[in-house]
């Protein structure tokens, strides 16, 4: 198979026998569930756009490993151009879905595991890099969506994995067999696991030799025996059950997170990429975090484009577009959004080749990118809510608007500019609500804070990589200080 169509992707997920639970019940057909389907549609867009000639250079690339054109989400970065095109692709998809399209974690896992396994093999004589290359080429050939899973529940943050009272609070190897390993634990906040064919597991922190059983990386299909998911609750999620497109705000697209449980899951030897080499756990974490923090300079910017556009439309519909303060707020939103994009492009342009041959972003600039992401989207949302007005959260439901008695009253009193229908005014306000407060807030506002690591995680990396000693020497030289 070469590149799947969107419809082929949907049907391939339908064939998986995944174990999914939500609201206390097992979901027999996640593909058709009204709450979950919008998240699947977002991933589908990564397949649909790859079929369009207009987006071929962004969405696809010729693999140096298979010689065939593959989806960029399964690609191993070969240059700084690849790194920049990744960010541009993510911005495009954010613009097209106004939601999380979920394949970024797998792409970032691909590239971090690729280089880390190469260096692990060099140090230990292991065969992890070949294992991973075979898995990667399989995913390219089949055009698979792969989830990248790093975040463990962590339990007591003051204690290392091996020191936890419950040893399963970090995913671990519980049995080493001749033909593979058995693992137990959980990965939390798993974006897109529900809509993935495969999942790559990685450690979540740097580790010491005492944590050997926790220094593990591998890949397995999402419907492997022993894996099950509990879907995370989102604000306004049950609106999707009400047959009310307007109230949802973004009825077609969305994101989804899951608590993904590994209940004594067997992993064959050829799917293992790290197994006890604790000194390389930190490298894998640092590289994945860097790639994923770069990603936010694309995806969140694309969603930001939609939110800025929605705020501008709301200003038009409210009759406030010419007000100087509204113009200034839209300028500020654009300034902040483009600054985020600059960071994503900068850390890509300053990337370099690793020993394995793939390209790594500039880690310092990637962390600066994500640090800004933890702040600027909150201000963009605040300004969007300011422009939209309080009606964004006080408007009656679509059911009331469609009611033959109540509808005309709502239409009369909630009209803004007379040339614009009340329905269209309410629709744009519901979209802003969705992006700022509703189910998409997970994929924009809140995820901007905690996705790819919360703010302190980036500050630690900025302190480590900021080379303060060099800056002090620069100052001493200029000041003619000798010691």
Homologous superfamily of domain range 283-473: Butyryl-CoA Dehydrogenase, subunit A, domain 3 (1.20.140.10)
Write a three-state SS string for 392-432. HHHCCCHHHHHCCCHHHHHHHHCCCCCCCCHHHHHHHHHHH
Closest CA to 73 of 230, 224, 221, 200: 200
pLDDT at 440 over 80: no
pLDDT at 67 over 90: yes
Report the percent of the chain where pLDDT is more than 70. 100
CA angle 260-207-210, nearest 5°?
A: 105
Beta bridge partners of 268: 180
Q: Which residue has the tokens 């008695």?
A: 405
The pLDDT of residue 40: 98
The pLDDT of residue 454: 86
Dump pLDDT digits (tens) for 393-437. 999 999 999 999 999 999 999 999 999 999 999 999 999 999 998
Q: Which residue has the tokens 């590994």?
A: 262
Query: What is the spatial distance between Cα 109 and Cα 415, in angstroms, rounded to a whole number?
Result: 49
Dump pLDDT digits (tens) for 102-147. 999 999 999 999 999 999 999 999 999 999 999 999 999 999 999 9
pLDDT at 42 over 80: yes
292 catalytic residue (yes or no)? yes
The pLDDT of residue 113: 98
pLDDT at 442 over 80: no
The alpha-helical segments, DSSP class H, found in 278-323 are 281-318
pLDDT at 439 over 90: no
296 catalytic residue (yes or no)? yes
DSSP-based three-state secondary structure for 165: coil
Query: What is the spatial distance between Cα 250 and Cα 38, in angstroms, rounded to a whole number?
Result: 9
Q: Distances from the Cα of 106 to the Cαs of 41, 139, 200, in angstroms? A: 17, 11, 7
Average pLDDT over residues 280-305: 98
186 catalytic residue (yes or no)? no
359 catalytic residue (yes or no)? no
Write a three-state SS string for 252-272. CCCCCEEEEEEEEEEEEHHHE
Single out the catalytic residue among 186, 299, 343, 347: 299
pTM: 0.96
Average pLDDT over residues 374-382: 97
Dump pLDDT digits (tens) for 252-279. 999 999 999 999 999 999 999 999 999 9
Query: What is the spatial distance between Cα 285 and Cα 393, in angstroms, rounded to a whole number?
Result: 40
189 catalytic residue (yes or no)? no
Average pLDDT over residues 14-30: 97
Single out the catalytic residue among 46, 116, 191, 354: 191
Single out the catalytic residue among 119, 198, 257, 433: 257
347 catalytic residue (yes or no)? no
Homologous superfamily of domain range 6-281: Butyryl-CoA Dehydrogenase, subunit A, domain 2 (2.40.110.10)
Single out the catalytic residue among 74, 75, 80, 100: 100
The pLDDT of residue 1: 63
Dump pLDDT digits (tens) for 192-218. 999 999 999 999 999 999 999 999 999
Single out the catalytic residue among 116, 292, 354, 439: 292
Encoding tokens for residue 40?
């699947």
Listed by start position, the domains of the chain span 6-281, 283-473
291 catalytic residue (yes or no)? no
pLDDT at 446 over 80: yes
The pLDDT of residue 289: 97
Single out the catalytic residue among 9, 296, 359, 444: 296
Single out the catalytic residue among 9, 74, 97, 104: 104
The average confidence (pLDDT) of the chain is 97
Query: What is the spatial distance between Cα 71 and Cα 45, in angstroms, rounded to a whole number?
Result: 12
100 catalytic residue (yes or no)? yes
- 106 and 200 Cβ atoms separated by less than 8 Å: yes
Dump pLDDT digits (tens) for 136-172. 999 999 999 999 999 999 999 999 999 999 999 999 9
pLDDT at 361 over 90: yes
Dump pLDDT digits (tens) for 470-479. 999 999 999 9
pLDDT band at 438 (very low <50, low <70, confident <90, very high): confident
Average pLDDT over residues 290-314: 98
Neighbours of 84 (CB within 10 A): 19
């Amino acid at each position: 198979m070469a590149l799947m169509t969107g419809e082929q992707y949907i049907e391939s997920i339908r064939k998986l026998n995944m174990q999914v639970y939500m609201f206390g019940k097992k979901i027999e057909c996640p593909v058709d569930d009204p709450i979950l389907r919008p998240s699947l549609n977002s991933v589908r867009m990564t397949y649909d756009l790859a079929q369009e000639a207009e987006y071929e250079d962004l969405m696809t690339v010729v693999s140096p490993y298979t010689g065939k054109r593959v989806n960029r989400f399964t690609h191993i970065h070969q240059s700084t151009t690849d790194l920049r095109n990744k960010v541009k692709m993510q911005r495009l998809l954010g613009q097209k879905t106004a939601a999380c399209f979920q394949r970024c974690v797998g792409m970032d896992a691909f590239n971090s595991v690729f280089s880390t396994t190469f260096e692990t093999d060099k140090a230990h004589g292991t065969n992890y890099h070949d294992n991973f290359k075979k898995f990667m080429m399989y995913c390219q050939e089949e055009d698979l969506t792969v989830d990248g899973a790093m975040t463990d529940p962590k339990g007591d943050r003051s204690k290392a994995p091996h020191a936890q009272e419950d040893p399963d609070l970090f995913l671990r190897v519980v049995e080493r067999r001749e033909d593979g390993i058995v693992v137990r634990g959980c990965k939390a906040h798993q974006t897109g696991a529900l809509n993935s064919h495969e999942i790559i597991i990685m450690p979540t922190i740097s580790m010491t030799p005492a944590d050997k059983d926790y220094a593990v990386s591998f890949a397995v299909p999402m419907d492997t025996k022993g894996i099950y998911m509990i879907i995370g609750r989102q604000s306004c999620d049950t609106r999707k059950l009400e047959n009310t497109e307007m109230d949802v705000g973004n009825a077609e697209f969305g994101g989804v997170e899951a608590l993904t449980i590994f209940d004594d899951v067997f992993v064959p030897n050829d799917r293992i990429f790290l197994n006890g080499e604790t000194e390389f756990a930190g490298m894998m974490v640092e590289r994945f975090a860097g790639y994923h923090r770069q990603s936010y300079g694309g995806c969140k910017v694309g969603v930001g484009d939609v939110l800025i556009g929605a705020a501008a439309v709301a200003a038009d519909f409210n009759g406030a577009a010419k007000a100087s303060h509204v113009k200034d707020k839209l300028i500020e939103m654009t300034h902040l959004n483009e600054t985020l994009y600059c960071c994503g492009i900068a850390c890509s342009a300053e990337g370099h080749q690793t020993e394995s041959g793939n390209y790594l972003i500039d880690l310092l600039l990637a962390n600066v990118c994500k640090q800004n992401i933890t702040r600027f989207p909150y201000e963009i949302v605040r300004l969007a809510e300011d422009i939209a007005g309080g009606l964004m959260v006080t408007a009656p439901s679509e059911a009331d608007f469609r009611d033959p008695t109540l509808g005309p009253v709502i239409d009369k009193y909630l009209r803004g500019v007379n040339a614009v229908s009340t329905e269209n005014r309410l629709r744009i306000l519901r979209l802003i609500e969705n992006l700022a407060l509703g189910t998409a807030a997970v994929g924009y506002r809140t995820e901007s804070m905690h996705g790819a690591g919360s703010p302190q995680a980036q500050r630690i990396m900025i302190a480590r990589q900021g080379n303060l000693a060099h800056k002090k020497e620069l100052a001493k030289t200029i000041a003619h200080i000798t010691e």
